[in-house]
Structure 1
Amino acid sequence: MLLLIPGPVQTRPEVRAAMAQDIAPWDRDFQSVYARVRERVVGIAHGTPGVHATLPIQGAGHFVTEAVLRTFVPAGSKVLIPMNGAYAQRMARLAREAGREVVPVALPDTRGATAEDILPVLESDPSIGTVAFVYNETGSGIVNDAEGIGAAVRKAGRRMVLDAVSAFGALPFRMDEHPECDALVFTSGKCLEGMPGMGFAVARIDRAEACAGNAGSWSFDLSDVLAHARRSGWGSIRFTPPVQAIAAFDVALDLYEAEGGQAARLARYRANTDALYDGIVALGLRPYLAREHQGPVIVTVHQPADPRFDLMTFVEALKRRGVLISNFYNTVAPTMRIGAIGAITPEDMRRAVQAIGAALQDVLPKAA
């Protein structure tokens, strides 16, 4: 089965094989693996040892995103969030339910947010302390301008947290060039092509120390994650972790480095996206985004206007042809979500396009 969703992604056999073992999380052999993973992640983020640290949280991306919001945004404080997609809306809900005041910036879900969208709001309201946003919006496929927004936040003297869950490892971002960024977050099952189960924050150590006591939650307190590592060692973890997923992630990082790291991974994903986008257009379907706004992670496609079309029926027809895509959408207009990341190639994408065309014929047969 060819898995084309924006995460958890299709993985390599070597990664899956690393799951086939029983592991004790306190065992010294595993602790060395876990400590190594944390160190490698800081390197991928271009963090500075002693300045930045990897602070993991078990679970889905929403868990580590909530942990970052709770830790680095004080209760009752304002956080600006550009609202141009479903995952921005989820981030806003996490912030509100944690008792933070969200300042939304309404934007269309068909283009990325820029510094020009953010800076006027910051200038008009000096009480906004933090800007939080999603780097890659997997609702539509747009990419927000992390570099430009970061520069604007730095110029305004505010703080930033970056949800890079579906971007880290492919889209570039250097923590050493963004002192305004308290933390970026990602998960094991996206662009680094590991198994799902673990969230990571690459965070400034000084800010994690200064924000101790903000979280209002033991489970979601990244300052406590840092304090635990200092007490018990970087190979230790506070609560029972998904040890097999961490072991597999270590292997995935080996493969990532062997491929050539971020630049090579991004090049392959862009080639995947181009093959998919061009193929969709050739089928007569209409991509949701204009090409200049199309990111390299997921292509969303307008559903056919034919009243006979049903997304769930189409997804099942496509699955019978060996390709699995999301069976839901979260754009303003009805769409189909087709991922372009994971252990897949442009040739896989061209094969997927053929299957999509055939599945459309299955569910929308032409009159004889």
Structure 2
Amino acid sequence: MLLLIPGPVQTRPETRAAMAQDIAPWDNDFRAVYAEIRTQVLDLAGGREGEHATLPLQGCGHFLMEAAIRSFIPAGGKLLIPRNGAYAERAVRLATEARRQVVSLHGPDTRAVAPEEVAAALAADPAISHVVMVQNETGSGIVNDPAAVGAAVRAAGRRLILDSVSAFGALPISLAAQPELDALLFTSGKCLEGLPGIGFAVARIDSLTAAAGQAGSWSFDLADVYQHALRAGWGSFRFTPPVQALAAFRVALDLHAAEGGQPARLARYAENMRVLYQGVQALGLTPYLEWRHQGPVIVTVHQPADPNFELQRFVDALKARGVLISNFYNTKVPTMRIGCVGAITPEDMRGAVAAIGKALDALGVRQRQAG
């Protein structure tokens, strides 16, 4: 089965094989493995030893986002969220339920947020301490530019928290170049092609020190994660980790490096995306985004107007042909989400395009333009 979703992604056999073992997370041999993972992640993020720290958290990307909001923004504090996609909307809910004040910067989910829009919103409200932004919106496929937006945040003297969950490992980022960035958030099961179950925040140590005691949650307190590492060592977790997922992630990191790191991973995903984008157009389908706004992680496609089309029936017909995509969408109009990431190649994607065409034919879908 070819898995074409934005995460968890298709993985390499070597990565999956690493999970087929029983491991004691507190064993000294594995502590060394985990400590090395933290160092590898710090390097990938462009962080500096002594200035940034790699902090683990069990669970999904939403857990990391809530932890970062709670840890770096005090209760009652105010943050700005550019709302141009489904995952930004989720950040709004996480912040609101953590009793932080959200200032919304509304925008369409068909283009990136503009730095000047962020600058104007910050100038209008000096009480905003942080901007919380999603780098890659997997609802539509757009990419927000953390360097450009970060420059606006830095010029305003504010701080940035970046959700890089579906971007890290493929899209470029450098913590050293962005001193306004308090925390970069990502998980194991996306562009680094590991298995799901573990997330990381790569965060500024000075911000962590200042954040001590304000999270209002033991589980979601990144400052406490950092203090635990100082006390118990960088190979230690506070609570029992998904240790097999970590073992697989170590293999995935080695495979990422062997491929050529972030530039090579991005190049492969970008070619996957090009093949898919042009392929669905050739089938008569309509991509949700204009080419100039299309990111490399996921191609979102308008559902055909043909009455014979129904998303779950299409997903089932495509699955019967060896390709699995999401059976839901996150846009306001009906769309289909087709991932370009994971251990897949442009040749795999050409096969997927052919399978999409056969599935549409089997359903009798002739009118393929959007309604």
Evaluate the alpha carbon distance shift between residue 285 and residue 217 of structure 1 in structure 2; reply closer, same or farther with a 3 A threshold. Answer: same
- Aligned match of 2:245: 245
- Aligned match of 2:87: 87
How many residue pairs get aligned? The number is 367
- Aligned match of 2:255: 255
Give secondary structure in 2 for the equivalent of 1:176. coil
Q: Please state how far the C-alpha of 1:103 moved relative to its aligned partner.
A: 0.4
User: Distance in 2 between the 1:148 and 1:50 partners?
Assistant: 26
Q: Does 1:296 align with 2:301?
A: no
Give secondary structure in 2 for the equivalent of 1:53. strand
The 5-angstrom pairing of residues 346-361 of structure 1 reads: 346-361=346-361
> Counterpart amino acid of 2:273?
T
The 5-angstrom pairing of residues 140-289 of structure 1 reads: 140-289=140-289
Q: Please state how far the C-alpha of 1:364 moved relative to its aligned partner.
A: 2.1
User: Distance in 2 between the 1:267 and 1:261 partners?
Assistant: 10
With the length of structure 2 as denominator, give the TM-score of the two structures. Answer: 0.98
User: Distance in 2 between the 1:348 and 1:133 partners?
Assistant: 32
Whether the 8 Å CA contact 1:2–1:323 is kept in 2: the answer is yes
Give secondary structure in 2 for the equivalent of 1:338. strand
- Between 23-32 and 357-366, report the one with greater CA deviation: 357-366
User: Distance in 2 between the 1:166 and 1:290 partners?
Assistant: 20
Q: Please state how far the C-alpha of 1:366 moved relative to its aligned partner.
A: 5.9
Deviations 1:118-172 (A, max 9, x none): 0001011111110001000000000011111000000000011000000001111
Q: Does 1:138 align with 2:138?
A: yes
Evaluate the alpha carbon distance shift between residue 366 and residue 224 of structure 1 in structure 2; reply closer, same or farther with a 3 A threshold. Answer: closer
Query: % of aligned pairs identical?
Result: 68
Evaluate the alpha carbon distance shift between residue 288 and residue 365 of structure 1 in structure 2; reply closer, same or farther with a 3 A threshold. Answer: closer
Poorly superposed stretches of 4+, deviation over 4 Å? none
User: Distance in 2 between the 1:364 and 1:251 partners?
Assistant: 44
Q: Please state how far the C-alpha of 1:92 moved relative to its aligned partner.
A: 0.7
Whether the 8 Å CA contact 2:55–2:203 is kept in 1: the answer is yes
Give secondary structure in 1 for the equivalent of 2:176. helix
Q: Please state how far the C-alpha of 1:309 moved relative to its aligned partner.
A: 1.1
With the length of structure 1 as denominator, give the TM-score of the two structures. Answer: 0.99
Deviations 1:85-116 (A, max 9, x none): 10000011000000100000110010011201
Q: Which runs of 5+ in 1 are unaligned?
A: none
- Aligned match of 2:312: 312
Evaluate the alpha carbon distance shift between residue 281 and residue 365 of structure 1 in structure 2; reply closer, same or farther with a 3 A threshold. Answer: closer
Deviations 1:12-31 (A, max 9, x none): 00000000000011001111
Evaluate the alpha carbon distance shift between residue 151 and residue 366 of structure 1 in structure 2; reply closer, same or farther with a 3 A threshold. Answer: closer
> Counterpart amino acid of 1:155?
A
Q: Please state how far the C-alpha of 1:362 moved relative to its aligned partner.
A: 1.4
- Aligned match of 2:74: 74
Q: Does 1:362 align with 2:362?
A: yes
Whether the 8 Å CA contact 1:55–1:203 is kept in 2: the answer is yes
Whether the 8 Å CA contact 1:302–1:335 is kept in 2: the answer is yes
Q: Please state how far the C-alpha of 1:365 moved relative to its aligned partner.
A: 5.5
Whether the 8 Å CA contact 2:309–2:365 is kept in 1: the answer is no
Give secondary structure in 2 for the equivalent of 1:179. coil
- What's the RMSD between the two structures over aligned residues? 0.9
User: Distance in 2 between the 1:299 and 1:150 partners?
Assistant: 26
Deviations 1:291-316 (A, max 9, x none): 00000000000000012211001001
Deviations 1:170-192 (A, max 9, x none): 11110001010000100000000
Give secondary structure in 2 for the equivalent of 1:177. coil
Give secondary structure in 2 for the equivalent of 1:117. helix
Whether the 8 Å CA contact 1:109–1:332 is kept in 2: the answer is no
